[in-house]
Every structure is written in C-alpha cells, then in structure tokens.
Amino acid sequence: MANKVVCPKVFHDLRRFARCLNTAPVVPPMNFTGNYGSTVTTPTLQPTVQILADPEKKVINFDDVKELFTGVSTLKLIRSSLTLQMASIESMVDLGVWVMNSKFMHMPIFKLVILGFVKSTFYEHFCAGKDLIEVRKTVSKLSSVGLKGMLDYGVEHATENESCDQSMKVFLQTAELAKSLPSSSVSFVVVKITAICTPKLLKRMSDLLRWEQKDPSLNLPWKQKTLPLFAKSSPFYHTLKRPEPLTVDEERDLQLAHDRLEKICKKCLELDVELLIDAEDTAIQPAIDYFAYSAAIKYHKDDYPLIFGTIQAYLKDSKERMIIAKKAAEKIGVPMGFKLVRGAYMSSENELASSLGFKSPIHDSIQQTHNCYNSCAEFMLDEIANGSGAVVLATHNIESGKLAASKAIDLGIRKDGKKLQFAQLYGMAEGLSFGLRNAGFQVSKYLPFGPVEQVMPYLIRRAEENRGLLSTSAFDRQLMRKELIRRFDVATS
C-alpha cells in the first residue's frame, strides 16, 4: 500500500508540512463582483457544499478523500502539493519569468542548472514529457487512475514555413500515437494553428476578415467556406483602417497552412482520433476560427464532430459567437464541437484595448465570466440533449463543474464521453478531475509536451497569464493535505 512505503521521517513532519499548504491565496468566492485585478482573501477555504441532481443523489463528493485520491501515491501527493505551493506564490512566478528572460540564460552552466530545476519541478508537474515516448508513459499512468489524455505538442508561434512543416509532422506522429494507445486513454490531439501558420499571417488574415465583416463588398479570393466568425458585439478595434490584400507570397503561405491542416485532419479522420484546435488572443482569433470552421465543414464523422473549436468565455461576445456558429453549422448539417474555457490572455487583451483607447473585450468582473461560462455550458448541454453537437467543458472552477454535471444528469446526457466530457490542465484541479471521474463522467487532462527548452516559452506565457489560476489551487492543496494526514494516521495507528 502507498501509505506504507514512505519512511517514518517523512511522516514525522507531515502535519507541520501539510499546515503550510494553506498559506497561499485562496480562490475568490463565487459571488465576487469586483474587478479582476483586485485582491480577495478569505479566512479559511472550506470544501464546497455538494449540489444535488435530486434530493437523494450526490453529483460530486469531495468529502471522501481516500476515494478521491485512490491510486495516487503518497510521494506523488507530496510532490504535487509542494509544486502547487511554489506556483501559487506570485513573487516566485515573477522571479522565474525574469530569470528565464534574462541574459543569464545565455550562460551555459547557469542555463543548465535552471533548466534542470525547472524540469524536476514545474515541467514534470505540468508537462507530459519531452517526446512521444515519455507521453506514452504519462498517458498510461493517467489511464490507470481513470483519466484520459489530451495530447498537446507545446510549441507555438512559428516564424517560417520550415518550422510549420516540422510542427505538422509532430502532430501527425501524435495522432499515430493516440491511435496506438488503448481507445480509453486518449480523447484528443490538440493543434495550435500558430504552430502551422505564422502569427504574422494570422494577424493579416484576421484584419481582412474583420474588414470584410464591416464591408461585405471586400473580395477575399483565398477565403474558403466557413461558419460565421463574428457577432454584433465582437470588437473590431484591432483593424482601424482597410487592410491591403494578401500578397502573392502570403497567399502561397496561406495555402501551405491549409494543406498542413488538411493533412492533419485527414490523418485524424483515417485513425478516428478527435482533433481540438486551441484558441489564442483576439488579434489573431478570427483567422484561427476560420481555419477551425472551414476544416469542420469538410471533415466530420457522420453526425459526430471530428474537429472542436475553442470558445473563451471571458470575452463579452463569446456566447453570441458560439450560438451563431453552432446554429449555422446545424443549418448545413455539420456537427460542431466546442471546447469551452474561461480564457488565458487577460493581461495582454486589456493592455492592447487600453492602448488603442477602447474598452476591454473581457467581462468587467470575474462573476460575469463565471455567469457567461455557465450560460454557454447550459446552452451546449441543451443542444446535446436535443441530439446536436458535442462539448468539452474545460474548467478548474468547482461550482461550474458541479452545475454542469448536475444539469447533464437532469437532461439524461450519457456519461460515455461521446457528447460531453470535462477537462483540466495536467497537474491542476486534481480534486475536481477525480470527483467528476468518481461521478461517472469522462475526464481528460490537458497534456502539453516537448523538450524542456522548447516548451519554456509556452510555460512562461501560461505562468504570466494564469496567475489567478495558480493562486487558486488552495482547494486542491487542502484536499491533498486531508488525504496526507489520513494516510499519516493510518500509518501510525
């Protein structure tokens, strides 16, 4: 048993260690209506009261920590607690970002030491490995505890066609790996369009697509059939003047990007592996949606989506855009899938809008984002109950998870994962992942992978943009603390 292989010395200081896990900032209460940037503290984070699908049925049970963390070793719990504790300290995030962007990283010895530390702590906690061989092992471990993997090659922001081609090859290899693993262990191959098409070209395309929305007479000869990309509430401040048409070289590069995505889609269709396209910031998101929707129209599995786009609920126009795209897809007989997230570019979005003299495209309060996320989830669950579409509810928010699980049960949506599944980042929200798993739902963990040095820009961006997410891991650490103390009591009784 896991509770008998840890030496007594570890358990000797366990109670004192576990108490320290509560020192980080805690998650803002669900009724918080202030600005995102404000600081909210509460005395002690208590386990959330369970929401009931009916008076006799519990949806998610966080009380039984033994059942929650079954299959997770004591050493894994301790390492996870320590890593989450470090990641929740903003000054440590600031220091880490500064170091990784400093001139010290050009010094071989210093760079080796820093990358070694990162690999043995944050990288191993939040990433699935440096290559597909290590990813296979990570997926196997997840599968052993009843979770699936979403395989994400963590390289983005390509600069030229050669790197785009290399990324495409890895995506194809990832699809092959997914097919070679048991079907119960992998849910999606994740593709970042910025890895197969340069952000510079995506920005040019987005500007032209925005201008076409304002002036339908604008001719875009390169544009393929797609779904609606904008809503009445969508921001257009990124494109303040009529853009120049794509050059001959840009059109050639765009066709190459289309060809790369088509190869990936055809491979996934051949292997029967679902494909998920990630979202980015609003400056380039219209082009990403264009790629996702045009591919979804061409490639799907009868009445089930092959390709899932991503909706970021912290954007004010997110629900309207999702409904318009979903209804348009339904009208032409195309099954459309979405991954629903809250969003990860809050700082950069606010800064860009402010610098141009416009209001932020992001909701004014965190409660508005919670409301939007839950409303989007409710819409998709109703659509699924009526036999149309599919959704991945990617959330670390316990309340959103319980509300969606309760509604899914009320609507009689099957828990086999065909139409509905939940997802969390690897190394985050373990309590919610295991709680949903125990409730019978399919749950996936988002698994970024790639060489440490290559994935570092991805990790740095996520650390900078997700400070609130990292600091709200207190509930997870509290659950781990309870289980560690329970195991300590069992080992010493």
Residue 245 φ then ψ, to 5°: -60, 160
* 3-class secondary-structure state, position 174: helix
- Alpha-carbon gap, residue 489 to 485, rounded angstroms: 6
What is the reported pLDDT for 493? 84
What integer pLDDT is reported at residue 470 of this predicted model?
Answer: 59
pLDDT score, position 474:
82
* pLDDT value of residue 40: 33
Neighbours of 13 (CB within 10 A): 9
Crossing angle of helices 161-180 and 248-271, rounded to 10°:
10
Residue 35: C-alpha distances to residues 55, 275, 363 (Å): 36, 35, 9
Assess contact for 273 and 178: CB atoms under 8 A: yes
Q: How far apart (Å, rounded) are the C-alpha atoms in residues 351 and 362?
A: 11
pLDDT digits (tens, 9 = 90+) for 360-392: 999 999 999 999 999 999 999 999 999 889 999
In the block, which residue shows the tokens 């719990």?
77
Q: Give the whole-angstrom CA distance, residue 418 versus residue 149.
A: 15
Task: Give the C-alpha separation, 381 to 413, whole Å.
Answer: 8
Tens digit of each residue's pLDDT (9 = 90 or more) over 409-447: 999 998 888 899 999 999 889 999 999 999 999 999 999
What is the C-alpha to C-alpha distance for residues 404 and 283, in angstroms, rounded to an integer?
A: 30
Distance CA 73, CA 96 (A): 28
CB within 8 Å of 78: residues ≥ 6 apart: 10, 17, 484
Phi and psi, residue 311, nearest 5° = -115, 130
Q: What pLDDT digit, counting tens, does each position of 219-231 carry?
A: 999 999 999 999 9
Best CA proximity match to 151, nearest among 130, 166, 135, 137: 135
Say how far apart CA 177 and CA 132 lie, in whole Å: 7
* pLDDT attached to residue 58: 66
- Tell me which residue has tokens 């570890």: 10
User: For residues 3 and 6, what is the distance between their CA atoms, to the nearest angstrom?
Assistant: 6
Cα–Cα distance for residue pair 173/180, rounded to 1 Å: 11
| Token code pair at residue 306 | 């092959």
List residues bridging with 311 in a β-sheet: 340
pLDDT at position 389, please? 92
What is the reported pLDDT for 462? 62
* Cβ-Cβ contacts under 8 Å for 28 (sequence gap 6 or more): 40, 366, 472
Q: Encode the chain (493 residues) as per-residue pLDDT tens digits.
A: 344 333 444 334 434 433 333 333 333 333 333 444 433 333 333 333 333 344 345 688 999 999 999 989 999 899 888 888 877 777 777 787 788 778 888 888 888 888 888 888 888 888 999 999 999 999 999 999 999 999 999 887 889 999 999 999 999 999 999 999 987 899 999 999 999 999 999 999 999 999 999 999 999 999 999 999 999 999 999 999 999 999 999 999 999 999 999 999 999 999 999 999 999 999 999 999 999 999 999 999 888 999 999 999 999 999 999 999 999 999 999 999 999 999 988 888 999 999 999 999 999 999 999 999 999 999 999 999 998 899 999 999 999 999 999 999 999 998 888 899 999 999 889 999 999 999 999 999 999 999 888 787 667 666 665 555 555 578 888 999 999 999 999 999 8
The pLDDT assigned to 37 comes to 40
150: closest CA among 417, 405, 406, 353?
417
Cα 46 to Cα 249: distance, rounded to the nearest angstrom: 58
This prediction has a pTM of: 0.85
H helix intervals, 199-344: 199-214, 248-271, 285-298, 318-331
Distances (CA, A) of 18 to 12, 137, 432, 477, 480: 11, 29, 20, 9, 8
Query: 184 and 143 in contact (C-beta within 8 Å)?
Result: yes
pLDDT, residue 198, reads: 97
